[in-house]
Chain A
Amino acid sequence: GAVVSQHPSRVICKSGTSVKIECRSLDFQATTMFWYRQFPKQSLMLMATSNEGSKATYEQGVEKDKFLINHASLTLSTLTVTSAHPEDSSFYICSAQSLHGTGEIGELFFGEGSRLTVL
C-alpha cells in the first residue's frame, strides 16, 4: 500500500522555539494532505487541510499564525508550530489523498505521527 512518512517521529524542544514537522507521500502524489492533533487518550482533531500550491484551510479555533502549513510540492506538506509552548505538546498526524485515485475514499493514507514535547 501507499506510504506516508512523517518526520521527526519525536521531538523535544524548549518553550519559545519553532518546530517543523514534515509529511511526505513516498510513492504517490498528494494534492491534499490533512493535519490532525491528538491529545493523550483522546481522539484526532482535524486542524487544517493542506492544498498543494495554495493556502491551507484551517478548522475553526485553530490559529493559522501559530500552526503554519506549507504544501509546496505534490509529495510534501510541512506543519510548523511557531513559538511553541507546553500546551502545544501533542501527537500530530498527517494524512494524504492520492492524486491519481479513482475518487474512492479508501485512497487516504496516514502517517505514523509526530510526538511533540515542549518543555
Chain B
Amino acid sequence: SQQGEEDPQALSIQEGENATMNCSYKTSINNLQWYRQNSGRGLVHLILIRSNEREKHSGRLRVTLDTSKKSSSLLITASRAADTASYFCATDAEDSSYKLIFGSGTRLLVRP
C-alpha cells in the first residue's frame, strides 16, 4: 500500500529554475528518503532524513521534514535538463526500517 501522496503529480519548469516537490505520509516514521527514477530504470537514492532532523542538504538538494504535519519537501535548486525524472519519497514501514513504502511520485520535466 502507498504511504501517502506527493504533489504536484507533474511539474514542468525551465532549466535554471528551482523545483519543489512535496510528500505527505500517514504513519509515524523513523526515516524518510527521496529517490529518483529515470524512465524505465531502477531507483537512485538521493537523500535520507531522520525523524529527528528538520532539514538536510546534499549538493543542489534540500530536504525538509515536518513530523507534526507528516510532510516532507524536496527542493532541487538551479535545475538542469538532466534532472528530468520521477521523484519518490519513501518512508519506513512500521514493522521494518528496511521495508519502504513509497509515495505516489512527482514527474519532473526540466525544459532546456
Contact = CB atoms under 8 A, between A and B. Distances in A.
Nearest to B33: A105
A27 to B, nearest CB: 16
Given A113-B42, A115-B40, A34 B104 contact: no
Nearest to A110: B43
Interface in B7-33: 30-31, 33
Q: Helix, strand, loop or mixed for chain A's interface?
A: strand
B88 A91 contact: no
Nearest to A108: B98
Contact of B30 (A60, A93, A105): A105
B42 A110 contact: yes
A97 interface: yes
Interface residues of B, number: 27
A106 B48 CA distance: 7
A43 B98 contact: no
Interface in B62-111: 88, 92-93, 96-105, 107
B60 interface: no
Nearest to A41: B107
Contacts of A112: 41-42
B100 A46 contact: yes
B31 A105 contact: yes
A42 B52 CA distance: 30
Contact of B99 (A34, A45, A113): A34
A46 B43 CA distance: 14
Contact of B42 (A45, A97, A111): A111
Interface of B: 1-2, 30-31, 33, 35, 40-45, 48, 88, 92-93, 96-105, 107
10 contacts: A43-B88, A43-B102, A43-B104, A44-B43, A95-B43, A106-B45, A108-B98, A111-B42, A112-B41, A112-B42
Given A108-B45, A110-B44, 5 more contacts: A45-B2, A46-B102, A60-B1, A108-B100, A113-B41
